[in-house]
Amino acid sequence: MQYHDKACSGYGCYCSSNAKPNRGISCIIRRSAQEKAYSVIAKRDGTSLNQFISMAVAEKISALETEEFFRERAKRADLKMFEEILYRRGGEAPREGDEVEK
């Protein structure tokens, strides 16, 4: 059996190599993972296993895109301005445990 990638091999899934963006993807998932998904996750959420997997993929894509967004945003950060704002006079004192050492 050929796994889609290293991550798949650890979970016992196999995705067909002819998967295309506008078509379905066939995956074989280890029986123990299927049983866990059916008995705990899919029933609790009131979704089908297919919907659960689709949501999991969408959540992972969202997390990866969010990570990339913040990575790109951090490149534009002005640390000098940040420190000026952080240490400016006025405002209220930091709460206990929120203090920053200069």
pLDDT, tens digit, for every residue of 21-48?
666 778 888 898 888 888 877 678 788 8
d(CA 66, CA 63): 5
Rounded to the nearest angstrom, the gap between the alpha carbon of residue 39 and the centroid of all alpha carbons in its chain is: 23
pLDDT in the model for residue 2:
45
Cα(62)–Cα(75) distance, integer angstroms? 20
Quick one: pLDDT at residue 90? 81
pLDDT for residue 42: 67
The domain ranges of the chain are 6-64
Name the most confidently modeled range: 24-28, 36-40, 65-69, 97-101: 65-69
The model carries a pTM of 0.56
Computed over every residue of the chain, the mean pLDDT equals 79
Cβ-defined contacts of 22-25 (< 8 Å, 24+): none
